[in-house]
Structures are given as structure tokens and as C-alpha cells.
Structure 1
Amino acid sequence: MIRAGIIGATGYAGAELVRMLSGHPDAEISAVGSVSYEGKPLSGVYPAYYRLCDKICENEKDVIKKSDVVFAALPSGLSQEIAEECFCAGKFFIDMGADFRLKSEKDYRRWYHGKFIFPELHEKAAYGLPELFRENIKGSKLVANPGCYATAVPLALAPALESGFVSPDGIIADCSSGVTGSGRKTTQNTHFPELNESMTAYKAGCHRHTPEMEQTLSTVSGKETHITFVPHLIPVSRGILATCYAKLKPGVTMEQLRNAYGKRYGREFFIRLLPDGRTADIKNVRLSNFCDISLHIDSHTETLIAVSAIDNMVKGSAGQAMQNMNLMLGLDEKAGLTSLPPAF
């Protein structure tokens, strides 16, 4: 069995990874790490795990020592030294934070106010969006797990852009996210009386996932691509709905678009291209690693409307991290990830 360790196991992303790895046929949780709860059982933090995962939270060095593959579910700025330690020790490392997602240090400085401490590691890091960059991930020792919005938006738009059916200019991504995307620490806008019966935009035009999405879309299109991105907070626990608008090139039809999406995603187990007449809905991907995509055309303005739905804690975080682990280690890519979403 592969020994998997989780640093930052008491945050939402880390705890979700614990839940998912517990059902993996080829891996076992070797250690869990937490600074805030070191010395305490994980089930004391999350009672749902009582008698199922009672592992004691340890420090990061002990987690690394006990593991073949290490996941870091940490805020940005905290993973680079851990990645270096894992790399030197011959461990596989998956960063669920943002430290290795951007290829440009200039962009990292601008959006995250940090620097590349180990530039050579950044050159080795593979960007972990399997449906677009699978071959880069296979066999890699270091993978940057994408952000949640940076998963939903590129998956919605990539086939249209790489086929040249839409303009790379003027793209708009209008997204809504469940509150788990804000993390476990409560803030005023995630406090129940503030969030309940509410919907609000936040970080409009300045969200940190913007350069990551542009980086991916520029890569697949072969042209510099910029987007206007506005995320919204909605009163649900899980899910991201990304409604993306892109200007169609003259004469492009729905049949051409569906053919392009079918060619790109037809063999992708975790991408479900919905039939005409259906619209992607976060309810239908809850607790799963699936990304549902629906395509629509506004003929009045000649605009493609591509809608994607993911569970931000699974395909947008822990599930995708496990999918990346499977690829890195040469396992079945779907291992531990095939359970059906709840029907209600």
C-alpha cells in the first residue's frame, strides 16, 4: 500500500482528502499533520471521523518521514520549503495551495506577494489539471493542484478556445461558490446571519485565481488570453457553478462546438458533457470528482455560454489531488474516485 501523508489535515481541504483517501484501494493514510491541533486526534476536530480516522496530528517532519506521497493543504506561502524537503527525500509531493501554480515569478509576486524560494523546483512542477495536461503529470515528483475556480473555468472554455471557435479577448467568467471555498476560519461574510439568504460578489476583478486561469487558457489557445472574473459567495456548503461567456467567431454553430467538446472530452471519465436542453447544476456533482458542462448560444449577441459545475472540495481540491496522485504513481486514474454523486 502507498503511504499517504497530509499536512494541514484539519482544514476543509485536508479533511476532505482524509475522507476520500480512506476509500482508496491502493493507498492508506500514514500520518496527518496540523500545527493548531498537534498532539490531538483528528476525530477530535472532526467527530464524523470517530473510530474511522483517529490518527494523532503530528508535525510536518514526522508526516514526511512516514509517507511515500505528501499532500500539503496549506495557505499560500507555506509549501515551498516542504516541497524542497520532500524532493530531497525522494517523496512525491502534491501542493494543494498556490505556491507552484504560476509559472511566472512576476505574477506570483504581484498576486501572492511572495517569491520563488527554489526556482529549480518551480521548473520541475507539473500543473495538475489532468484533462488538459495529463502527460505532464505522469511520473512527476511535484504537482501543483489547481485552484477550484481555475479548474471549473478552463474546463468550460478550453475546447472552444483551442479550436479557435471563440475570441481569446473579452471572456467573462461569472462564478458562484459554496462557503467551504473560504476555508474553515470564520469571517464576517461567512457568518451564518450574514451569509444566509444572501448572494454577494467578492474580490471582483482582483481574485488570485485570475492569472492561473489566464495561464491555462493561454496555453491551450496558443494566444495570450485575458478574462474578466467575478466570483460570488452563495449560501451552500459545496459547489462551484461557472458561467462563462466568450464571443463566437463568425459562422460557428452549436454542432461544431459540440463536436469540439466531444473530441476533447469524449474519453474523459470525469467530464460529463450534458445533452442539449440540460444545464449544469452543482447538485448533480456534489461529493464527486465530476465536472458537468453544458453549452448554450446566445444568437442575439453571437456569444457562447459555457456552464460548468464542480464540487469545489472534490474536483476543485481533494478529489483532483487524488487523481493527480494516481497519475504520478502509475495507478488507475479513477482509483478511489468512482462513487456516484448523491441523487438528492
Structure 2
Amino acid sequence: MNVGIVGGTGYGAIELMRFLTNHQAVEKMYLYSQSKQGTNISDVYPHLDTIIDVAMEELTVEHVARHVDVLFFATPPAVSHKWVPALLETEVKIIDLSGDFRLADPAVYEAWYNKTTASKAYLNQAVYGLADVYRDKIKDAQLIANPGCYPTATLLGLLPVIDQAFIDRNSIIVDGKTGVSGAGRSLSQGVHYAEMNENTRAYAVGSHKHTPEIERFLSEKTEKSIFINFTPHIVPMTRGILVTMYVNLTEAISEEAIRELYQSFYRDRAFVRVKPGHSLPETKQVYGSNYCDLHITVDERTQRLIIVSVIDNLVKGASGQAIQNMNLLYGLDETEGLNLSPLYP
């Protein structure tokens, strides 16, 4: 197949290229960029010299329809929704890594993103691409809304238990830590070395745009309205996300029983690893990979379930999961192009 990538100079696009160059089903890549048309990708990212010899070009629906089988949007919010309606009239499959199609209500999107998005009719066509949970729906989709990084780590941690009777669904606290690559490649004071080095801070407290995405799919699973307290933090590392979730228990249940529930939920899921009790996950253990590592603790003293989830924000939280979704779309081995061990140390 031929693949296209829109937003060819961002971190998400570069990670797509890294995996797609080793994907057995990919014959050719097309790169689209509004700001770098005519520029070879190796001139922007010299580490790709002799690996990818592709010049970026202007995005048009006609070019995509003629040359591309599956198109990835690795763009900021409020870009993809301008192109998707016309692209849906072609046979191309679309995997959107931005947030434009993750929420079902345009008004909710506008309230959290402070931007407009597609009409509800197009939002309803999108299938949410949390590959390890919704893979049966993904297989028949034309438009996939690739999940956000924090929602991926959080939903994989909470979905196995959110509908269980022993969970107090009104008590959910989500504490997230992310590396600076989550802010993208654009320059800003907040990720300037002198500001970020030896520093950690909370941000978007009570207002992070991934909050309604998490709440939407927890609510769908339980068929009840779920609200969470979500506080993200930025830490001085390049990549990785660690999310710790706290949920009150309504009855006594053993840690072993809950761990078995998680193992059953993710049975035959190649990229979700439920860790044993003595092995707390670390971001370094998934660095550069498509894995999500989960750990379960029951604090009997406080009657609270504590879930730790780690992913690489640029891979499982973005490009790796997007390729996993592509594999599902085309009936390929789910691990094709992704079956690489994490980078360590």
C-alpha cells in the first residue's frame, strides 16, 4: 500500500516514518506540508539521510485520491476537519492523530479546544482508535480518530474495572506526568531548557483538553455520566507518560482478583502488559515502543485501588497506535512494523 502523512515536520510524523520504513506492506510514502513544500525530509531531519528520500508536497484531495491508500493526519487541532469531508468522498482511509474527531459533540470540542471542528454528521462517522479495546469496530472504519496520549494511558488503565460493582465511580483521580515532546516541536518558553531543566510543574489543572475524551469513553462503558479529576504535570524528560489513577473501592476485593480481571480483559492483546505485583512500571521500560505497561495495587488500609500506566507518548500515545490501527484496517498482523523492543537504557 501507499501511505500519506500530513504534517510531515512534527514529532508524530517522524515517528510514523520510523515505523513505516520497516513495515512490510508499505510500498511508498507521500509527505504533505504547508510550510515545507519542495523540501526533502532529510533536510529538516538530517538523521533520515539515506533512509527516507522524499520531498514534501502540497496536500490536495486529488493527489491523495490518486496515489494514497491510507492517510495519516499528524497535525495540530482544527486542521484535519477541514479536509476530511472531501476525503471521505474518495476511497482513502483516514487516521487522524489530532483531536478533531474524538468528541461526538462539536460544542464540547469548542468548549475545551477553543476551536471549531467538523459537524456532528462527520463526527459520528469516526471510530475511536483505542486499538486494544475497540479493534472489532476499527476493522470496518474509513475514518479513525486516533486517541490522545493521556487518554490512551488512562483509558487502558480504567476501562477493565470502570463498570465493576466494587468501583466507586465518583472518586476517580487521575495524576499524569509527561515529557516535553508532548508539547510538540514549536518553540515556547514553557519548554525552554532553562525553564524546564530541574523543574516540574502542573498545568491545565481542571481544564486539560483530554478530560472530555477520557470521560466520554468511561461514560459509554458504564452507560452513566463519569467525571474525573485530572491533573497533568510536565517533567524534565524527552518522552514518556506515567499516569497514576486512584479509585475508591466499595467492597473488599483482593489485588490478585483485580489483576486477574485485567489479564483476562487484555488476553491476546500484544501491546498491553499487566505487570506482576513486585514490578512497578517505568517510562524507560516502554521508551520508543508501542507497549502500555499496567500495574495494580489494592491499598487495604485506605480501601483504594491504585493503577499505574506507562506509555511512550509519541508511540503508543500517537504514531504507534495509529499504525496498529492501520494494521487492523487492512487485516494485517496487528504487530506488523511495531514489534520492536523498547530502547533501554
**Do Structure 1 and Structure 2 share a fold, with TM-score over 0.5?**
yes
> Per-residue deviation at 1:54?
2.0
The root-mean-square deviation of aligned C-alpha atoms, in Å, is 1.3
TM score, norm. by length of structure 1? 0.97
2:334 is aligned to 333
Contact 2:105 2:120 in 1 (8 A): no
- What's the secondary structure of 2:162's corresponding residue? helix
Mapping of residues 64-143 of structure 1, within 5 Å:
65-143=66-144
> Per-residue deviation at 1:64?
5.1
More displaced 10-residue stretch of structure 1: 3-12 or 114-123 = 114-123
Whole-Å Cα distance in 2 between the matches of residues 25 and 117 of structure 1? 34
Q: Which amino acid in the other structure matches residue 20 of structure 1?
A: F
Whole-Å Cα distance in 1 between the matches of residues 207 and 252 of structure 2? 34
Task: Tell me the percent identity.
Answer: 39
CA offsets, 1:95-151, max 9 Å, x none? 100110001222112112344534322111100001221111112100000000010
CA offsets, 1:185-220, max 9 Å, x none? 021110011111111111111000000001111122
2:313 is aligned to 312
- What's the secondary structure of 1:60's corresponding residue? coil
Asked if 1:163 corresponds to 2:167, the answer is no
Structure 1 residue ranges (4+ consecutive) displaced by more than 6 angstroms after TM superposition: none
Asked if 1:31 corresponds to 2:30, the answer is yes
Contact 1:18 1:29 in 2 (8 A): no
Contact 2:102 2:213 in 1 (8 A): yes
TM score, norm. by length of structure 2? 0.96
Whole-Å Cα distance in 2 between the matches of residues 234 and 33 of structure 1? 32
Contact 1:165 1:248 in 2 (8 A): yes
Whole-Å Cα distance in 1 between the matches of residues 342 and 110 of structure 2? 39
Contact 2:106 2:119 in 1 (8 A): no
Whole-Å Cα distance in 2 between the matches of residues 195 and 29 of structure 1? 39
Whole-Å Cα distance in 1 between the matches of residues 164 and 194 of structure 2? 46
CA offsets, 1:287-319, max 9 Å, x none? 100000011122221111100000000000000
Contact 1:21 1:29 in 2 (8 A): no
1:300 is aligned to 301
Contact 2:100 2:118 in 1 (8 A): no
> Per-residue deviation at 1:32?
0.3
Contact 1:34 1:59 in 2 (8 A): yes
1:45 is aligned to 44
Whole-Å Cα distance in 2 between the matches of residues 39 and 56 of structure 1? 6
- Structure 1 pair 64–19 and aligned structure 2 pair: CA distance change class (3 A): farther
Structure 2 unaligned regions, length at least 5: none
More displaced 10-residue stretch of structure 1: 57-66 or 255-264 = 57-66
Whole-Å Cα distance in 2 between the matches of residues 29 and 181 of structure 1? 28
More displaced 10-residue stretch of structure 1: 10-19 or 100-109 = 100-109
Give the number of aligned pairs.
343
Structure 1 unaligned regions, length at least 5: none
Contact 1:21 1:28 in 2 (8 A): no
Whole-Å Cα distance in 1 between the matches of residues 280 and 159 of structure 2? 18
More displaced 10-residue stretch of structure 1: 297-306 or 202-211 = 297-306
